[in-house]
Structure 1
Amino acid sequence: MTAFEPPVPNRQRVLVTGASRETGIGAAVARAHAARGAAVAVHCRADTAAGEAVAAKLPGSGHLTVTGDLGDPEQVARVVQEAVDGLGGLDVLVYNSGMYVEHPVTRTTYSEWQSLWRRHLDVNLLGAAHTAWCVVDHLMRRPEGPAGGRIVMIGSRGAYRGEPRTPAYGASKAGLHALAQSLAVDLAPHRIAVTALAVGFTRTDLTAGLLDDPETHEAVLAQHPLGRVADPSEIAAAAAWFTSAEAEWATGAVLHLNGGSYLH
């Protein structure tokens, strides 16, 4: 963990996982929260330098970086505790960590199939469940009580339209949406709101290859009535609203944020 300045009191304290890619959704979510005055813990899996670069560029002060593989339950607990210690507590979790590795069933060996399913579920679904447990445990024990806590899960339209090249990804994101809704009902009496975003195609460094390749560019755009894909800032704006005080009534919602490319 690397802290840039001491925690600042009376600010929303936010842990954003999977936020170390400057052009990614997680970094955009971190920027959106910092811009409205929050103190942010930027999580990265292994590249601490990249996480620190994102944190250093956030507006305001009091931000920090936490590092760990959220597919490992022990590392999850450490990451959350470091965020709690570094920020002086937590109010918000935005779970953006995820993996996407192609493994079509007809072109994958059985051993590869098992390994990739296990890893997708460990990171995309179980990692979210374990991180949420640790954050909820903190919210329930903090002196001011759990009310006002927020959890946002960054899901995918692939949970509904299917992911034939990456079936474990689609299944894990469907489970992520169900997890968010289950937690929303369970935690409502404690005034902890839980939501999810079913995100569509978004321009990041991970998707730039498809968007910049003439062979795939038109096929991707053809899915979208607006004739473009999302910018990470658009996803971040929705996440920031879901974590606001005004969004408590949205608990249990799964927002389909895909530019009309899939209607559900």
Structure 2
Amino acid sequence: MTAFDLSGRLAVVTGARRGIGRAMARALAEAGADVIGVSASLEKSGSDVEKDVRAAGRGFEAIRTDFADPDAVRALGADLAGRERPVDILVNNAGTIRRAPAAEHPDTDWDTVIQVNLNAQFTLTRAVGAAMVARSHGKIIFTASLLSFQGGITVPGYTAAKHGIAGLTKALANEWAPHGVNVNAIAPGYIATDNTQALQDDQDRSRAILDRIPAGRWGRPEDLAGTTVFLASDAAAYVHGTILPVDGGWLGR
């Protein structure tokens, strides 16, 4: 057994159906954790993420929850916090994005993005985190963003939410670190997923992005795997309140 071994632990991964969330769930399973995958459209059985987890020899449970529905998120939190088998690792990865110039940005888009990317994250983490604090053990990982540090273009709601996630990570770490609960965040760079498809398809924007990334390529979801396992493991026991970029060097440019 190593400090990175997650055998016997239970991980909840939101936004687990595809992209970064699926890669995170797979990495945690390969490190030994059983996984509860949560997504608004996750298949009850037979999903790709379930196949990944079971191929690693770990248990999997699917929960469908719409993070745009505050009542559904509260119910999910109560369910997970009240289970006989406690949640050891919570990965808050669910998210959405809406693109429109700020002067034309609809209230509905703003409200949806803030609810899914920030409000729901706090609601779920409050419930699961309280149970972790009571047990004096737990790992919480948020998916932040480069836009936790920068402003972005035509995504004011997303930027505000991801700045909020960075602050929430630090605030919860301040309160919960003394109780044995690690709260940290990963800030992915430009990763080739559905959320960035519009940027990948825009030749000028894609070229400008690539020109700034020292690594010279778009990131892949599996580039987040090692960081996820690290922050979920005992190897990160003294890491609290950190927003860790995995960005191909973007922020260092």
| TM-score, normalised by the number of residues in structure 1 | 0.85
1:13 partner amino acid: L
Deviations 1:196-253 (A, max 9, x none): 1122100124434533554443222112122112111111211210110120211111
Contact 1:51 1:65 in 2 (8 A): no
Across the aligned residues of Structure 1 and Structure 2, the Cα RMSD in angstroms comes to 2.2
Give the Cα separation in 1 of the matches to 2:136 and 2:61: 23
State the Cα distance separating 1:166 from its structure 2 match. 0.5
Percent of residue pairs identical:
30
Separation in 2, partners of 1:117, 1:212:
24
Q: What is the alpha-carbon distance in structure 2 between the residues aligned to residue 185 and residue 245 of structure 1?
A: 19
Distance 1:217 1:171 in 2: 23
Gaps of 5+ in 2: 1-6
User: Separation in 1 of the partners of 2:96 and 2:46?
Assistant: 17
Corresponding residue for residue 233 of structure 1 = 222
1:105-144 to 2 correspondence within 5 Å?
105-108=102-105, 112=106, 114-141=107-134
Aligned-pair distance for 1:100?
0.7
Superposition deviation, residue 85 in structure 1? 7.1
Q: Give the Cα–Cα distance (whole angstroms) in 1 for the partners of residues 112 and 203 of structure 2.
A: 31
Q: Is the 8 A contact 2:44 2:63 kept in 1?
A: no
Q: Is the 8 A contact 2:77 2:125 kept in 1?
A: no
User: Is 1:190 equivalent to 2:171 in the alignment?
Assistant: no
Q: What amino acid sits opposite 1:249 in the alignment?
A: Y
Letter paired with 1:173: K
1:248 aligns with 2:245: no
Aligned partners of 2:40 and 2:147: how far apart in 1?
Answer: 23
Question: Taking structure 2 as the reference length, what is the TM-score of the superposition?
Answer: 0.88
> Given the alignment, which residue of 43, 51, 65 partners 1:48?
43
Counterpart of 2:86 (choices 89, 95, 106) is 89
Gaps of 5+ in 1: 1-9
C-alpha contact 1:20 1:50 (8 A) present in aligned 2:
no
Contact kept, 8 Å, 2:141 with 2:232, in 1: the verdict is: yes
The one-letter code sitting in structure 1 at the alignment partner of 2:125 is A
1:68-79 residue pairs with structure 2 within 5 A?
Answer: 68-79=65-76
| Residues 24-35 of structure 1: pairs in structure 2 closer than 5 A | 24-35=19-30
Letter of the 1:222 partner, please give it.
Answer: D
2:136 maps to what in 1?
146
Aligned-partner Cα distance in 2 for 1:73–1:51? 27
- Tell me by how many angstroms 1:86 deviates: 7.5
Residue 75 of structure 2 aligns to which amino acid in structure 1?
Answer: R
Structure-1 separation of matches of 2:8 and 2:242: 25
Change in CA separation of 1:154 and 1:50 when aligned onto 2, cut-off 3 Å: farther
Aligned length: 245
- Structure 2 vs 1, CA of residues 120 and 51 (structure 1 numbering), >3 Å: closer, same or farther? farther
